[in-house]
């Protein structure tokens, strides 16, 4: 099936393109971008007037819960949520059951995604066996099996010597290490950000320095070993500052944040709302401002969701025992478009952070509309207003603090490999 | 008299000064009942109150039970084992099962801050908080207010020192909410490891560097209970050192105003938070607090039931 996407505002940071044009897709690849392209016989036409046509969005931090925890989400429901949110590629974290610490699990995910999924899925393997923090996993084999990075996400690698060796070893193999930066001793029994809100609610706090110290340690290890490092879900002003300074020194560090960290503060926890419980926790206004500044000045390279589905029973409980995490695939794009509306990012910079940069950092051949590229595209309607209704989400889980929020902008059509993977009717 | 508009009493943070005035005024009326030969009125006859205590607390539970019985309510005490949650029964399950027995009020003590808000969303009866995690203990807060008002005839313009583990204390939070809303100035002292961040923002609250500074010229000194299990962990070296810097004794009590009140939510670790000379001395109002506890709890049960004194 060939496609002609007419009259959209085509935005492709990979080639500095931002112009109203047509995009012709043939045999699953981008054939041509130009004015007044003509459709030949058998070409389906999509009218993108008033819409953005961008390289398919890439979410480099997702928990698909498959294998092992399919009651929360699985590869089918997760990728369906992804395309509904405008994502053509997902990078899934290894804290499945069993964990992605061997070729078999990685292959299972890749095969199931290829046969039943709605978008591309690139798995992340473990840094250590079973995420146990004791022995390095077989990173070479994981890479051969198709993993695009290694991470023990959900847990930090507590042992600094092991983290050092993992960075060195991964550099040799050519696989990226993604750090979940958290000092567990400082987290203690904390369940939300430590600050005035935790004081008033009487909830145990997680201090910012639990993240800052771990970020600093891993950045220093990356610098010492001259290895690339990516810091996941940055949430504090301290982490932003540490990463900014490291980048200025030439350390090969990149990072991501998530929409909730530039949208919400820990005030969202008031009322003991477990849908505002996540790790790292929602921080304070100063942190939100620092995250936005980090996005603006390029310190923060990517916007990922940290999509973390949980069953209702794991959230509809007392705050202390509730599971950490929120879903994010279907709210990420509108929350991020708000950054453009607020003048923090240009639309080009936003697309860079949601497609081009994650592709580049992970070394996957996505995030570009250059002729000959895989035709993964997202058509975005930037002006449509809608309300988040948890009943209509494609994800299996409903754990979002944005239920009932009024949003502006969303994916109108998601095209994967030249075929329409999601049309919004 | 003003009307009490709350179905639940979970936190003094949720109550206005007027709400608290009303509860205190009612408690004073209740106190009269407690001094009669026959300490029972039919006010809550036919009402069922469940005392659901996930944490053991003989004092608070007994106080609530006596309060309920003096108002002629029927009471049931339930102490689920703390492990029941890990066995799969959630608080919500327990609550719905209890609700099927049609109670009018559930009085709950729970180790998790905010658990009562979770419970209140699940049940249609009234919920009264008998202490939740490190959040609030509103009946203790109110009985402290009543005890202080008994002595001074007012609550505004007083200097009240609260000394000890503020961070983990639900009593401290309820006292701060109650006292500052009523016009008192609260001074806090304790090891910085036990001081929660930005606590000043809770109201008219000053954090002091030393205990001396907090109790200097205080009208009231409230000593908090130290959890023995925190000793030797990261919050303090040991009880001996704690008592040396944060214990109340006849010497440092002289810094407070002459005749200043000494209070403690109990049970006291004698020789740690305060010496027995202070605990049993003329300035101690500890037993007065216990006595007022029954009256305050009667007032709380009465008002959440929306009943009227005949
Ligand atoms: Zn993580």
How far is ligand 1, taken at its centre, from the CA of residue A116, in Å? 27
Our CA-based measurement puts residue B143 at a distance from the nearest CA of chain A, in whole angstroms, of 20
d(C-alpha A223, C-alpha A241), whole Å: 16
Residue B310's pLDDT band (boundaries 50, 70, 90)? very low
Contact check, Cβ <8 Å, B113/A316: no
d(C-alpha B42, C-alpha B73), whole Å: 8
Q: Could you tell me the CA-to-CA distances from A200 to B13, B200, B240 in Å, in that order?
A: 9, 10, 30
Single out the residue of A403, A411, A342 nearest to residue A56, CA to CA.
A411
Report the relative pairing of strands A17-26 and A2-12 from DSSP bridges: antiparallel
Candidates A195, A200, A318; nearest CB to B118 = A318
What SS3 state is found at B53?
strand
d(C-alpha A70, C-alpha A74), whole Å: 5
d(C-alpha B137, C-alpha B141), whole Å: 6
**Beta strand segments in A228-361, E:** 229-231, 253-257, 302-303
Residue B2's pLDDT band (boundaries 50, 70, 90)? low
The model's pTM: 0.93
What SS3 state is found at B7?
coil
In chain B, which residues have their Cβ closer than 8 Å to the Cβ of A198? 196-197
Query: What residue has token string 């045999």?
Result: A27
- Could you say which of A12, A101, A212, A306 is catalytic? A306
Model confidence pLDDT, tens digit, residues B5-53: 999 999 999 999 999 999 999 999 999 999 999 999 999 999 999 999 9
Strand partners, B223: B163
What SS3 state is found at B108?
strand
Q: Could you tell me the CA-to-CA distances from B300 to A23, A55, A220, B172 in Å, in that order?
A: 70, 62, 57, 19
Active site annotation includes B60: yes
How far is ligand 1, taken at its centre, from the CA of residue A14, in Å? 28
Residue B1's pLDDT band (boundaries 50, 70, 90)? low
Is A405's Cβ below 8 Å from some Cβ in B?
no
Q: What radius of gyration, in Å, describes the C-alpha atoms of chain B?
A: 19
- Could you say which of B26, B43, B60, B147 is catalytic? B60
- Could you say which of B58, B87, B201, B234 is catalytic? B87
DSSP per residue over A160-227, as a string? HHHHHHHHHHHHHHT-EEEE----HHHHTT--EESSHHHHHHTPPEE-THHHHHHHHHHHHHHHHHT-
Quick one: closest CA in A to B121, which residue?
Answer: A316
Q: In the Cβ-directed half-sphere of B291, how many Cα atoms lie within 13 Å?
A: 13
Q: Could you tell me the CA-to-CA distances from A424 to A294, B195, B219 in Å, in that order?
A: 33, 53, 68
Model confidence pLDDT, tens digit, residues A171-199: 999 999 999 999 999 999 999 999 999 99
Tokens of B123: 């049940």
pLDDT at A117 over 80: yes
- Could you say which of B116, B137, B149, B297 is catalytic? B137
Read off φ and ψ for residue B302, nearest 5 degrees.
Answer: -60, -45
Mean per-residue pLDDT over chain A, rounded: 97
Candidates B90, B110, B135; nearest CB to A317 = B90
Candidates B85, B92, B170; nearest CB to A202 = B170
Q: Could you tell me the CA-to-CA distances from A71 to A112, A279, B115 in Å, in that order?
A: 17, 21, 26
Q: How far is CA B237 from the centre of its chain?
A: 28
- Identify the H or E element spanning A20: strand A17-26
Interface A–B counts its CB contacts (< 8 A) at: 66
What was the ipTM of the complex prediction? Answer: 0.90
How far is ligand 1, taken at its centre, from the CA of residue A232, in Å? 6
pLDDT at B87 over 90: no
Tokens of A212: 């800052």
Active site annotation includes B59: yes
Active site annotation includes B31: no
What is the CA angle A69-A75-A78, rounded to 5?
Answer: 95
Is A284's Cβ below 8 Å from some Cβ in B?
no
Interval A93-100 mean pLDDT: 97
Neighbours of B291 (CB within 10 A): 16
Interval A147-159 mean pLDDT: 97
How far is ligand 1, taken at its centre, from the CA of residue A60, in Å? 12
Strand partners, A45: A4
Neighbours of A136 (CB within 10 A): 17
Neighbours of A49 (CB within 10 A): 9
Contact check, Cβ <8 Å, A319/B118: yes
Share of chain A above pLDDT 90, in %: 98
Report the relative pairing of strands A377-387 and A406-416 from DSSP bridges: antiparallel
């Amino acid at each position: 099936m060939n496609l002609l996407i007419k009259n959209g505002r085509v935005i492709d940071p990979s080639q500095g393109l931002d112009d109203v044009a047509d995009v012709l897709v043939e045999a699953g690849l981008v054939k041509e971008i130009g004015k007044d392209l003509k459709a030949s016989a058998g070409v389906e036409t999509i009218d993108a007037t008033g819409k953005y046509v961008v390289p398919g969005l890439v979410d480099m931090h997702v928990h698909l819960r498959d294998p092992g925890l399919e009651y929360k989400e699985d590869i089918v429901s997760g990728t369906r949520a992804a395309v509904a949110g405008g994502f053509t590629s997902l990078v899934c974290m290894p804290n499945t059951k069993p964990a992605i610490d061997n070729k078999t699990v990685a292959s299972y995910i890749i095969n199931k995604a290829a046969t039943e999924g709605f978008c591309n899925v690139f798995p992340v393997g473990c840094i250590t066996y079973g995420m146990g923090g004791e022995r390095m996993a077989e990173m070479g084999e994981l890479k051969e099996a198709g993993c695009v990075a290694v991470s023990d996400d959900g847990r930090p690698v507590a042992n600094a010597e092991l983290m050092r060796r993992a960075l060195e070893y991964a550099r040799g193999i050519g696989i990226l290490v993604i750090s979940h930066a958290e000092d567990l001793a400082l987290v203690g029994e904390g369940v939300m950000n430590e600050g005035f809100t935790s004081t008033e609610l009487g909830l145990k706090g997680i201090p910012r320095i639990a993240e800052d110290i771990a970020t600093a340690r891993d950045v220093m290890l990356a610098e010492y070993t001259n290895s690339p490092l990516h810091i996941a879900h940055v949430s504090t002003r301290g982490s932003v500052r540490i990463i900014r300074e490291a980048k200025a020194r030439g350390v090969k560090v990149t990072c991501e944040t998530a929409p909730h960290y530039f949208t919400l503060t820990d005030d969202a926890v008031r009322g003991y709302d477990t849908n505002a419980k996540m790790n790292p926790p929602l921080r304070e206004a100063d942190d939100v401002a620092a995250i936005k500044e980090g996005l603006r000045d390029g310190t923060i390279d990517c916007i990922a969701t940290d999509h973390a589905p949980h069953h209702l029973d794991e959230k509809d409980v007392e705050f202390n025992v509730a599971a950490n995490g929120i879903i994010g695939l279907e709210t990420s794009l509108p929350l991020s478009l708000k950054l453009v509306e607020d003048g923090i990012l240009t639309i080009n910079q936003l697309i860079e952070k949601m497609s081009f940069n994650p592709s580049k950092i992970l070394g996957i051949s996505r995030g570009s509309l250059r002729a000959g590229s895989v035709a993964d595209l997202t058509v975005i309607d930037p002006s449509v207003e809608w309300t988040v209704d948890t009943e209509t989400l494609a994800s299996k889980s409903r754990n979002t603090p944005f239920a009932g929020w009024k949003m502006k902008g969303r994916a109108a059509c998601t095209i994967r490999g030249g075929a329409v993977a999601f049309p919004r009717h | 008299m003003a009307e009490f508009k709350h179905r639940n009493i979970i936190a003094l943070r949720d109550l206005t000064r007027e709400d608290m005035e009303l509860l205190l005024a009612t408690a004073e009326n209740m106190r009269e009942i407690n001094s009669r030969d026959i300490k029972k009125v039919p006010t809550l006859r036919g009402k069922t109150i469940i005392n659901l205590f996930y944490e053991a607390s003989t004092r608070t539970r007994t106080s609530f039970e006596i309060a309920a019985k003096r108002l002629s309510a029927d009471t049931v005490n339930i102490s689920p084992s703390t492990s029941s949650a890990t066995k799969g029964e959630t608080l919500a399950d327990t609550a719905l099962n209890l609700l099927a027995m049609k109670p009018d009020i559930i009085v709950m003590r729970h180790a998790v801050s905010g658990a009562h808000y979770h419970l209140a969303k699940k049940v249609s009866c009234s919920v009264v908080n008998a202490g939740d995690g490190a959040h609030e203990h509103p009946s203790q807060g109110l009985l402290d207010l009543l005890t202080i008002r008994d002595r001074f005839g007012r609550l505004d313009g007083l200097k009240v020192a609260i000394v000890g583990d503020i961070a983990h204390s639900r009593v401290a939070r309820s006292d701060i909410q109650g006292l500052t809303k009523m016009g008192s100035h609260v001074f806090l002292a304790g090891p910085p490891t036990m001081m929660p961040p930005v606590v000043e923002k809770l109201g008219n609250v000053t954090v002091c560097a030393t205990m001396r500074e907090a109790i200097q010229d205080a009208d009231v000194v409230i000593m908090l209970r130290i959890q023995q299990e925190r000793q030797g962990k990261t919050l303090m070296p040991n009880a001996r050192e704690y008592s040396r810097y944060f214990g109340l004794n006849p010497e440092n009590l002289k810094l407070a105003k002459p005749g200043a009140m000494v209070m403690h939510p109990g049970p006291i670790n004698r020789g740690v938070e305060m010496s027995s000379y202070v605990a049993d001395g003329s300035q101690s109002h500890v037993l007065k607090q216990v006595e007022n506890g029954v009256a305050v709890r009667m007032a709380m049960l009465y008002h959440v039931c929306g009943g009227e004194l005949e």
